[in-house]
């Protein structure tokens, strides 16, 4: 189905929806009593919602605020996935696809933030994820 709204067109929005679909199978496997389950669900949902809201704003600073929030939620999702591994609920291999999707989403959001910023902002480079052993994910 073709996009009906402008916020559905950006690739970052489509990838954030794909992440939610991927994460759903992970969420189904985690106990409902596990706090990180709820946090992952809420943070994942926040990504496309903030992209949509930011895309609907008329000024660049307003758009950036929502894209910043979406980026923060994507980073939070990555941390949630790390927590599931640390707690022994999932393996590194099981979360690899999700973290890869999140890295792509974060990179695209940084691009949107830069495109909508006046150049006064400080940015961190997106670093590759590594296992505690130093092995890249």
Domain ranges for the chain, please list them.
6-115
For residue 8, the model assigns a pLDDT of: 74
**CA 43 – CA 134 distance, rounded (Å):** 27
**CA 48 – CA 132 distance, rounded (Å):** 30
Topology adopted by domain 6-115 = de novo design (two linked rop proteins) (1.20.1440)
Q: What is the mean pLDDT of residues 20-44?
A: 96
Those residues with Cβ within 8 angstroms of residue 21's Cβ, 6 or more apart along the chain or in another chain: none
pTM of the shown model: 0.83
Quick one: which H or E segment has residue 16?
A: helix 11-29
Residue 121 has pLDDT above 80, yes or no: no
Contact assessment for residue 96 and residue 32, using Cβ atoms and an 8 Å cutoff: no
Chain-centroid distance, C-alpha 31: 22
Residue 119 has pLDDT above 90, yes or no: no
- Joined together, the tokens standing for residue 61 give 């600073």
For residue 87, the model assigns a pLDDT of: 96
């Amino acid at each position: 189905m073709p996009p009906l709204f402008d916020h559905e067109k950006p690739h970052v929005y489509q990838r954030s929806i794909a992440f939610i679909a991927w994460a759903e199978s992970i969420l189904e496997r985690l106990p409902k009593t596990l706090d990180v389950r709820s946090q992952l669900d809420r943070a994942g949902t926040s990504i496309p919602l903030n992209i949509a809201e930011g895309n609907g704003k008329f000024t660049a600073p307003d758009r950036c605020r929502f894209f910043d929030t979406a980026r923060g939620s994507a980073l939070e999702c990555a941390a949630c996935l790390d927590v599931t591994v640390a707690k022994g609920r999932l393996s590194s291999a099981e979360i690899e696809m999700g973290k890869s999707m999140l890295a792509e989403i974060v990179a695209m959001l940084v691009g949107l933030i830069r495109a909508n910023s006046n150049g006064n902002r400080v940015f961190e480079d997106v670093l590759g994820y590594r296992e505690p052993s130093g092995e890249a994910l």
